[in-house]
Amino acid sequence: MEQSHIVKSFDDELKLINTTLAEMGGMAEAQLTKAVRALVTRDADLAREVVAEDSKIDALETELDRDAIRIIALRQPMATDLRMVITALKTSANLERIGDYAKNVAKRTITLIEMQPVGNTAHTIERMAELAQGLVGSVLDAYVKRDLAAADDVRMRDEEIDQLHTSLFRELLTHMMEDPHSITACTHLLFIAKNIERIGDHATNIAEYVHFMVSGETPDDERPKGDETSQTIITS
Amino acid sequence: MNEIKITAKNVNVFYGDKQALKDISIDIPARQVTALIGPSGCGKSTFLRSINRMNDVIDGCRLEGEIKLDSEDIYARGIDVVHLRARIGMVFQKPNPFPKSIYDNIAYGPKIHGLTTSSAEMDDLVMGALEKAGLIDEVRDRLDSPGTGLSGGQQQRLCIARAIAVEPEVILMDEPCSALDPIATARIEELIDELKENYTIVMVTHSMQQAARVSQKTAFFHMGELVEQGATEDIFTRPQDERTQAYITGRIG
């Protein structure tokens, strides 16, 4: 661990930012887990709970932004301190977005419960969500431990979510062609899958900032990407 | 590749038995601002003063190694120190105008160096220096008033004008803003930014924000060693040495 600042209150302020960020991260992870559990178990109450909870993440983001801006204005942080504050700002914006996606999954779940389930897709989505949650958890860990290797690992692991997303996309298109009555439900499921795929992307964004925070450099290599949905055509 | 104005190679400086600088090697790029930072007693001012041989006048001060101005060894035998100091001017922490008129403060140097042949030429030179130092509009009507009657920031710009008047190539500044308020400081910083078009500037500062604002290159000194040097942006965002990191983030004094 780095030595303390001569001005101790500066350490307290930086610590406060990290505490807020950890709280946000924990909430974002929990929101995703709950939203997907609501989908799989068709639990509208749980989904509504997720929708209601999202404002708490938003409030924490506002709080963190305010604290970070105050540090920049009053402390003029340099070097690792500067990189940490910038990374915290960027990370909180990404976590807030992850919270929004979880909320959207929950909202669509409330609608989906009104309709017939479509095949086994909810379980594929659950698998995607587990991976996404794993990424979010790992990247927050990497942040706390200042672990460059762990952050880089998160960037590489997102590919698997992309691949699941691509196969789910094909599966849902096939369902829609076979049974036009399922189009409404399948479209909601497509958005849900897309939301989770985006959560993975946000986790890798955070990983790139953690890389910057620890090393002072931005990762220059392209990370592997497995999302082929934008080129997918299914013909009957 | 940037043109190099000053090269220091394996410079050691001793005050009697005490070693103040240990094996300093650095290239100072031409027409840029180089900031020397570090805690008090780290050797940055000693190094600055070595560049125009200001340490010569200190008893028991001894320098080993080599400092070159455009490939000419400034410590070589036969170097005219007075001439050297005309080529390498200096501005100090506390503005120190001569107890003379504003005009004479500036004319003094050119006069002893014989830079002009007529009073009209001298007028041009004085006005030119005041202009370059950004002071002309404030003193045009009172060139005969004493320099010491100006405000602190104006006095410092007068000292910069005085340094410029002898047509130096390098200007050394030892904490030039530490006695000034933020507005006067901003004026000096703006002036430094303009001066670097024509002059090589080396500046010692205790304000890291100032080093970050005005310099292109930064060198961090600690306990007589040159710990790290590099592009200012790199030093303040991703220093490589732990001591630099600790100093600029406020972890060691």
Chain B residue with minimum CA distance to A77: B249
pLDDT at B97: 94
Does residue A147 carry a pLDDT above 60?
A: yes
Residue B60 lies in a domain: yes
- The DSSP secondary-structure symbol of B51 reads H
Does residue A168 carry a pLDDT above 90?
A: yes
B228-245 confidence digits (pLDDT tens): 999 999 999 999 999 999
Contact A168, A123 (CB under 8 A): no
Does residue A163 carry a pLDDT above 60?
A: yes
Residue B188 lies in a domain: yes
Contact B202, B51 (CB under 8 A): yes
Residue B166 lies in a domain: yes
pLDDT band at B162 (very low <50, low <70, confident <90, very high): very high
pLDDT at A115: 93
Among candidate residues B180, B182, B192, B125, the one with its CA nearest the CA of residue B156: B180
- Any B CB within 8 A of A82 CB: yes
The backbone region for B88, taken as left when phi is positive above 0, alpha when psi lies in -120 to 50, beta otherwise, is beta
Chain B residues within 8 A of A214 when measuring between CB atoms: none
Among candidate residues A16, A110, A94, A106, the one with its CA nearest the CA of residue A53: A106
Chain A residue with minimum CA distance to B249: A78
Candidates B228, B237, B240, partner chain A, best to mutate (most A CBs within 10 A) = B237
Residue B253 lies in a domain: no
Answer CATH for A8-231 from 1.20.58.220, 3.40.309.10, 3.40.50.970, 1.20.58.340: 1.20.58.220
In A148-177, the residues whose Cβ lies within 8 Å of chain B are none
pLDDT at B57: 86
Among A3, A6, A78, beta carbon nearest to B236: A78
- The DSSP secondary-structure symbol of B98 reads -
Position with higher pLDDT, B126 vs A234:
B126
Chain A residues within 8 A of B209 when measuring between CB atoms: 76
pLDDT at A236: 64
Does residue A231 carry a pLDDT above 60?
A: yes
pLDDT band at B184 (very low <50, low <70, confident <90, very high): confident
ipTM: 0.79
Does residue B56 carry a pLDDT above 90?
A: no
Give just the sign of the alpha carbon dihedral B106, B58, B207, B9: positive
CB contact under 8 A, A79 and B253: no
Give just the sign of the alpha carbon dihedral A136, A142, A143, A145: positive
Interhelix angle A121-145/A79-112, rounded to 10 degrees, is 160
A29-47 confidence digits (pLDDT tens): 999 999 999 999 999 999 9
B244/chain A closest Cα distance in angstroms:
9
Does residue A122 carry a pLDDT above 90?
A: no
CA distance A81 to A75: 10
Does residue A70 carry a pLDDT above 80?
A: yes
CATH number at residue B70: 3.40.50.300
pLDDT at A233: 85
Chain B residues within 8 A of A81 when measuring between CB atoms: 249
Strand pairing class (B170-174; B88-91): parallel
The mean pLDDT value for A108-132 works out to 92
Residue B147 lies in a domain: yes
Q: To 5 degrees, how large is the angle CA B33–CA B75–CA B50?
A: 40
Instruction: Give the pair of three-digit tokens for residue B44.
Output: 């940055």
Chain B residue with minimum CA distance to A81: B249
- Any B CB within 8 A of A3 CB: yes
Does residue B1 carry a pLDDT above 60?
A: no
Does residue A1 carry a pLDDT above 80?
A: no
CA distance A182 to A118: 7
Does residue A234 carry a pLDDT above 90?
A: no
Quick check: helix, strand or coil at residue B29? strand
Count of structural domains, chain B = 1
Average pLDDT over all residues of chain A:
94
Q: Residue B41: give the domain boundaries.
A: 4-248
CA distances from B68 to A86, B79, B151 (A): 42, 12, 37
CA distances from B58 to B16, B49, B54, B55, B223 (A): 10, 11, 8, 5, 20
Strand-pairing partners, residue B8, are B26, B67
Average pLDDT over all residues of chain B:
94
Chain B residues within 8 A of A79 when measuring between CB atoms: 236-239, 244-245, 248-249
B15-39 confidence digits (pLDDT tens): 999 999 999 999 999 999 999 999 9
> Quick count: other Cβ atoms within 10 Å of Cβ B43?
23
CB contact under 8 A, A82 and B250: no
Quick check: helix, strand or coil at residue A226? coil
pLDDT at A222: 79
The mean pLDDT value for B180-199 works out to 92
